Amino acid sequence: MKMREGFMVVLVGLAILLYPWICRANNGSRGGDASEATRVVVDQSGNGDFWRIQDAINAVPSGNARQVIISIKPGTYREKIVVPENKPFITLSGTKSSNTIITWSDSGGIFDSPTVSILASDFIGRDLTIQNTFGVGERAVALRVAGDQVAFYRCQFLSYQDTLLDDAGRHYYWNCYIEGGTDFICGDAASLFEKCHVHSISQENGAITAQHRQSGTDDTGYVFLGCKITGVNGSFLGRPWGEYSRVVFAHSYLSSAILPQGWEDWDDQKKHSNVYYGEYKCFGPGANRSERVDWSRSLSDSEAAPFLAKASIGGQGWLRRKRTP
């Protein structure tokens, strides 16, 4: 097994390193084209190129400049995974989220506990479950995303506190399921969550988001567009980790689990004048704004317009048709 995987590391590395010269010889292009990607298979049964996901990632050369699709066969993969900053253009592709599961149990440091850490740019994840099974009591991140131009499709992220550390960069989440209890979508990225299901398992007064924007001139923030927001008990839509925290819910269903006041100030009233917490044409029992805190906003059409398209994350440039599965 070790000899086979060692051979595959060399083979994958050679294929990627030789690709630019092959393209030049054929007047081709380089960089992120899935139609001319290197494809490798991870399979715990031994019928793939690698047994472990991290081994397949390690086989990608530093400074990679083309699409590498790592196809993960069904199974429960018990490993902590890092996609390092110097390995862009990697795709982790499962079969479906219900049977392709990456799991670990860790807690403590927000940067040390993640089951999966994406530090590279131009990453795609699809049809995966990523979970941290530590439970209640400490920070236990399932996924940290700190690369730029990162997208996830049909994935599940499961933990309790700080489930999704949406840390930095521009990110897109489509048709994903995100579950947690305390500040379980947090960080300072510029992210669009479209058609996602966000579910709070907090038993009392948990916050769904803790966005970390630090300046009124920063272009970061979270937009939930056409999403479904549910929970088992009373939850806030968010509270301000950063002084200028920014979160918008638009055209989304808000269940009765959303507390009438909607937002919480993290015991710091000075943030009332700085945060940007907006709602636009949401519906459901939790969307009634009659008892909302007066420092949140009911957005007008013109105020909401910048948040209602992929342009809010510059996505018209990097969410190209060929990148969408």
Per-residue tokens: 74: 């069904």
Chain Cα centroid distance, residue 13:
28
Chain Cα centroid distance, residue 157:
8
Annotated catalytic residue 162: yes
Cβ atoms within 10 Å of 264's Cβ, excluding its own: 18
Among 127, 148, 183, 265, the active-site one is 183
215 to each of 34, 136, 150, 226, 245, how far by Cα in Å? 37, 31, 23, 27, 8
Q: For strands 164-166 and 185-187, give the pairing.
A: parallel
Among 49, 106, 122, 162, the active-site one is 162
* Amino acid symbol at 48: G
What residue has token string 């009591």? 137
Q: What region, left, alpha or beta, does residue 230 occupy, with left being phi > 0 and alpha being psi -120 to 50 degrees?
A: beta
Annotated catalytic residue 183: yes
Active site residues: 162, 183
